[in-house]
Structure 1
Amino acid sequence: MNATEYEASRADGLREGFTTGTAATAAAVAALHLLLGGTGPEVVNVPLPPFPPDDGNENSRLDIPIVNCFVADEGEIPSATGQVIKDGGDDPDATHGALIQARVRLAGADGTVTLDGGEGVGRVTLPGLPVPVGEAAINPEPRKQIAAAVRELCVRYGYTGGVEVLVSVPDGAERAKNTMNARLGIMGGISILGTRGTVRPFSHSAWMATIAQGLDVARAAGCECIGFSTGRRSERLLMAQYPEWPQLAFVQAADFAAFSLEQAAAKGFTKIAWGCFFGKLVKLAQGHAYTHAQTVDLDFSLLADWCREAGAPDDIAVQVRNANTARQALEIIDNGTYMQDIVVAIARRAKQKAMHWTGGTVAVTVHVFDFDGRQFAVA
């Protein structure tokens, strides 16, 4: 996607933005351009996640405007900083408008790309997140994105040495007060996120209209079954479970659980498949009509009770009660002889809630996927 196509996304009334991960990637690329090429670019073209691409083809790309790019005076080690304003499009969040910058140093001789967070980038202090305790809160996909873009530019300029990247957000600590970072144990700033590189507008009315429209299209095409997922990855995994279903039969419900299920029943579908990961499963089982992380908290005390009822020993239930995230709770119960029983029991509760929202008139199957893509429970 180039700059013209990016702006053209306004045509449907809502403009996509780009993630903090893409902003940090662009800032790093701009700084590296200055160091290796001698000039700071006004726009850089960066690859977008996932890495490697899901379809096996080349990554999609996006042009990102650069606010500033300058050489830093750090003695004998060549260093430059690139700056980007994070643009959330028509889905402004706590990081919309933030200055994301990356200082790049040419250091080392083995071609290694090292990455860390500086001022305004949070640091992980509790387990359960995809980044280990003690490291900067830069999620795995942005880490891959930054490294891939840096290596790509090094190849273009014929540079074979090492590169150090330090991402910072000058007002990140203040912005983090409007996020759930502190509750998750991410202290001192925001997180650098982005599983797809761009941000889809999250207007509730627009998203619900999109869900309803997707259901209408599927029904008009003769589909009697519908597959709901909470995101792109869970959709791909759910599709693999129903290879005979046409692509039109799959709709991303995101966090709109009750709305999607009610609409599917009202439009006459006879079977619903729901695909999700553990965190969304628990929220569905706990009866949350809307499951967005910033709006709905997971009840770990109730989850601990369910674990105990399904056979987990008391010490495991206590650990689950004190867990920080759904990922951590799953890690606590993983590999235990009772794990399968726990997940299946929760999936059955989620199925009951889902059928409540369909009025009990539609058959619902709940598929639970692990973070590595395996399916380990169906109800």
Structure 2
Amino acid sequence: MNQENQPLRYGWTTGACATAAAKAAYLAIHNGFFLDCVEITLPQGKKVSFSLFKKEFVTADCAIASVIKDAGDDPDVTHGAEIWVQVKRLDVGQGIVFKAGKGVGTITKPGLPLAVGEPAINPVPRQMIIQALSEVVENCDVEITIGVINGEAIALKTMNPRLGILGGLSILGTTGIVVPFSCAAWIASIHRGIDVARAAGLDHLIASTGNVSEVAAQKIYNLPESALIEMGDFAGGVLKYIKTHPVKKLTLAGGVAKMTKLAQGHLDLHSKRSSVDLELLAEWVAQLGASKEMVEQVRNVNTTAEVFSLCQGRIALGDFVAQKALEIARQMLGPVLIEIEILLFDRQGQLHGQIG
């Protein structure tokens, strides 16, 4: 089998890594020595083993262990990060207490699954850790501090700051497994962004495909940062979640190519998973009254941007595409009463189409 045909390698979430490190540190203070690797049980029942990177006794009742995160073949910004956990015994009856160490963020905005002021250690990883420790001793009383080396810097490459998770990364994962290119983490961040905006009482959100369209839309509306949703290619992910978590108004802002894909019925706008039908685009140009010569020119161009450049000042292609995109969005939302607006921008942030 050549390399291109080999299956993509799965990886482990930060939650799974933290669980392994927590169990290793707890076993160490329970047994008086560290193991070289530790086995944990994932939420679906699968047992997996992790090698330890760091092992250290602070005192007889306090130990630190760390695991290097392996995200498999997923392009995860946390791949290779060192997840460390300190476990310290507490007096009987105090239960399990979670704290954010250096590199793990703290919740500062309502709307997330955790209360404001809590360490950004999500509910499923917390439960995984509790389960892992209960496999050692049924009822334990410990303080668990989770950190990530360089987590503050890595977090700047995520949506955490916009979500109000400050000071570092989140400890995430619902299955413990990272599926390569599943984009589950991005879609989850979109959902959390909408949750945070709704909790803040914001009734108008801008979901953009990229930085250029977000900046351009912000010049029109100047909304609070919490109202800005980085949807990337996941227009469908935004619309499906908004359908059950509605706001008064949603602006979908994007480049001409991605919004043309939406207009043609694609909900995943990634270049590998959808493409613009230039023949259909030529038919639309013809419907708008373009000459046969112009329609033929459209059929022979290579990119959507060229089509819009060709039509600029001659026919209102941008508004037509925006209307088609609006129709797709309304189909997705069904009877839910939400005001939808579509904005199309070129790569320089110039508005080419608007409706809603």
Provide TM-score, normalisation by structure 2.
0.55
**In the alignment, what sits opposite 1:343?**
246
Question: Which of these residues, 176, 182, 185, is aligned with residue 197 of structure 1?
Answer: 176
For 2:28, what is the secondary structure of its paired residue? Answer: helix
For 1:175, what is the secondary structure of its paired residue? Answer: helix
Q: CA deviation at 1:163?
A: 1.5
Runs of at least 4 residues off by over 4 Å: 276-280, 285-288, 294-302, 339-342, 344-347, 352-355, 359-365, 376-379
Question: Which of these residues, 66, 71, 76, is aligned with residue 83 of structure 1?
Answer: 66
Query: Residues 25-104 of structure 1: matches in 2 within 5 Å?
Result: 25-49=19-43, 59-73=45-59, 78-104=61-87
Aligned length: 248
Maintained 8 Å contact 1:365/1:378? no
Question: Which of these residues, 136, 140, 143, is aligned with residue 164 of structure 1?
Answer: 143
Question: Which of these residues, 325, 329, 332, is aligned with residue 366 of structure 1?
Answer: 332
Question: Which of these residues, 127, 133, 158, is aligned with residue 144 of structure 1?
Answer: 127
Deviations 1:321-362 (A, max 9, x none): 5372689xxxxxxxxxxx999939769x9xx99983338899
For 1:101, what is the secondary structure of its paired residue? Answer: strand
Q: Quick one: which amino acid aligns to residue 72 of structure 1?
A: V
Shift of the 23–193 alpha-carbon distance from structure 1 to 2, 3 Å rule, reads same
Question: Which of these residues, 218, 226, 230, is aligned with residue 324 of structure 1?
Answer: 226
Maintained 8 Å contact 2:14/2:83? yes
Q: Which runs of 5+ in 2 are unaligned?
A: 199-204, 230-241, 253-258, 266-279, 281-323, 339-356
Maintained 8 Å contact 1:139/1:193? yes
Q: CA deviation at 1:97?
A: 0.8
Q: Quick one: which amino acid aligns to residue 99 of structure 1?
A: E
Shift of the 279–35 alpha-carbon distance from structure 1 to 2, 3 Å rule, reads same
Q: CA deviation at 1:142?
A: 1.4
Q: Quick one: which amino acid aligns to residue 29 of structure 2?
A: L
Is residue 2:2 matched to residue 1:13?
Answer: no
Q: Quick one: which amino acid aligns to residue 105 of structure 1?
A: K
Larger radius of gyration: 2
Shift of the 126–198 alpha-carbon distance from structure 1 to 2, 3 Å rule, reads same
Q: Quick one: which amino acid aligns to residue 12 of structure 2?
A: F
**In the alignment, what sits opposite 1:219?**
none
Shift of the 72–363 alpha-carbon distance from structure 1 to 2, 3 Å rule, reads closer
Shift of the 174–363 alpha-carbon distance from structure 1 to 2, 3 Å rule, reads closer
Q: Quick one: which amino acid aligns to residue 32 of structure 1?
A: Y
Maintained 8 Å contact 1:138/1:192? yes
Q: CA deviation at 1:177?
A: 2.6
Q: Quick one: which amino acid aligns to residue 50 of structure 2?
A: I
Maintained 8 Å contact 1:127/1:324? no
**In the alignment, what sits opposite 2:164?**
185
Shift of the 108–357 alpha-carbon distance from structure 1 to 2, 3 Å rule, reads farther
Q: CA deviation at 1:115?
A: 0.8
Distance 1:124 1:278 in 2: 13
Provide TM-score, normalisation by structure 1.
0.52
**In the alignment, what sits opposite 1:356?**
263
